[in-house]
Amino acid sequence: MKPSPFDYFAAHTVAEAAEALAAANGDGKIIAGGQSLMPMINFRLVKPTILIDINRIAGLDRIELNGSRLKIGATVRHYMTATNSLIERHVPILHDVMHHVAHMTVRNRGTFCGSVCHADPAAEMPMMTLLLDGTIIAMSVRGERQIPTSEFFTGSLMNALEPDELVTAVEIDTLSPDTGWGFEEFSKRHGDFALACVATTMRIVGGVASEVRFGMMGVGETPLRLVEIQELVEGNALSDAVLDRVAETLSTILTPNTDIHASADYRRHLAGALARRALRDAWKRAELCGGRVHG
Ligand code: FAD
């Protein structure tokens, strides 16, 4: 396939990139890893008049710990997230999840922030950003804007960025050492996009689940943070009865699509099965970590 004609500009500063985006009047596109954008351009699903390359901007390839938050710069590639010691130590669930993203060749170029911007409802990073109460740091010629992830994903492949805004970083929560986590994904082949996926974290305080987070992807138009499930688990010791209620609730609240990969019913079934496994894993890890920290 051939793309429609476009200009190319390699920005050396965030200000240069923001000016070029503003000058493009809504027809410019930022290129980071190019792993999603280039196929879309080649299929003429998008026809930008100019590509603004952010790969030469110094300082955007950093992962920094600021208090209880981790800041992931716009050119941090998937393989960097997968091998970073701060992430392994402070957000172990993200460290594990990275190995489910595509294949090594894609992980070598694709970026964490690019995946968040692309907003694929079956991609891991948008869901993880939502689970970890992420903030999107956007920049334009008008200055910086911080967008909570809860407001960022507006539809399938759609986000809340203005046409002249680029993302310079995403900030996410770190997890306390006694936090347990579970991640379960079902895809037909390793590295494929998921048919359904669950990510969850929790602590155990006084013998019951506390600070429960529960996210899903592949079962809606956007990644989901399911408060109903969090409230169901919170304050309870994890038991078969709680897990049954979780599966029942998921089967009533989820409205997944039927497509060539799976039916809506199958996705609903997967959601319940994956939720049971992920919650059990999170509980077990919280028991182990809690024992290590407090015992
Ligand atoms: P690009 O392709 O450069 O950009 C994607 C979009 O985001 C474009 O619209 C671009 O303009 C915009 N954008 C990028 N960066 C910014 C920014 N800083 N500010 C504003 N807009 C920006 N992903 C998964 O999560 N899970 C998978 O299993 C998976 N499998 C894949 C398999 C294959 C074969 C391929 C080719 C890709 C797969 N991906 C998967 C997608 C991959 O993770 C991409 O790297 C990612 O979705 C986009 O990141 P990128 O840096 O390549 O972004």
Every domain of the chain and the residues it spans: 7-53, 63-173, 180-294
79: Cβ below 6 Å to ligand 1? no
Return the pLDDT at 289. Answer: 84
- Residue type at position 106: V
- Report yes or no: 67 and 109 within 8 Å, Cβ to Cβ: no
- Closest-lying ligand 1 atom to the alpha carbon of residue 109: 52
**How do beta strands 28-31 and 50-53 pair?**
parallel
160: Cβ below 6 Å to ligand 1? no
37: Cβ below 6 Å to ligand 1? yes
Average pLDDT over every residue of 68-72: 98
Residue 33 CA to ligand 1 centre (angstroms): 7
113: Cβ below 6 Å to ligand 1? yes
82: Cβ below 6 Å to ligand 1? no
Strand order in the sheet with 143-148: 63-66, 69-73, 166-173, 135-140, 143-148
Average pLDDT over every residue of 119-125: 94
117: Cβ below 6 Å to ligand 1? yes
Residue 253 CA to ligand 1 centre (angstroms): 29
3-state secondary structure of 264: helix
The per-residue pLDDT for range 181-236, each reduced to its tens digit, is 999 999 888 777 789 999 999 999 999 999 999 999 999 999 999 999 999 999 99
- Report yes or no: 239 and 229 within 8 Å, Cβ to Cβ: no
Domain 7-53 identical in fold to domain 63-173: no
Q: In whole angstroms, give the CA distance from residue 78 to residue 227.
A: 28
Residue 34 CA to ligand 1 centre (angstroms): 6
Fold of 7-53: 3.30.43
Fold of 63-173: 3.30.465
Stated pTM of the model: 0.95
Using pLDDT thresholds of 50, 70 and 90, give the confidence band for residue 292.
very low
Q: What share of the chain is helix, strand, coil (3-state, %, to 5)?
A: 40, 25, 35
Fold of 180-294: Enolase-like; domain 1 (3.30.390)
- Report yes or no: 45 and 150 within 8 Å, Cβ to Cβ: no
Give pairs for 47-51: CB < 8 Å, separation 24+: 47/3, 47/4, 47/6, 48/6, 48/24, 49/6, 49/7, 49/24, 50/6, 50/7, 50/8, 50/9, 50/20, 50/24, 51/6, 51/7, 51/8, 51/9
Mean pLDDT of the chain: 95
Using pLDDT thresholds of 50, 70 and 90, give the confidence band for residue 244.
very high
- Closest-lying ligand 1 atom to the alpha carbon of residue 32: 3
pLDDT of 263 > 80? The answer is yes
Residue 20 CA to ligand 1 centre (angstroms): 21
110: Cβ below 6 Å to ligand 1? yes
Report which of 57, 52, 112 is spatially closest to residue 80, judged by C-alpha positions: 112
Ligand 1 atom 15, closest CA: 114
Return the pLDDT at 103. Answer: 86
Report which of 90, 3, 104, 102 is spatially closest to residue 46, judged by C-alpha positions: 3
Residue 75 CA to ligand 1 centre (angstroms): 11
Ligand 1 atom 38, closest CA: 102
107: Cβ below 6 Å to ligand 1? no
The per-residue pLDDT for range 162-181, each reduced to its tens digit, is 999 999 999 999 999 999 99
193: Cβ below 6 Å to ligand 1? yes
124: Cβ below 6 Å to ligand 1? yes
Residue 290 CA to ligand 1 centre (angstroms): 36
Q: In whole angstroms, give the CA distance from residue 145 to residue 269.
A: 39
- Residue type at position 101: V
- Report yes or no: 149 and 134 within 8 Å, Cβ to Cβ: yes
pLDDT of 294 > 70? The answer is no
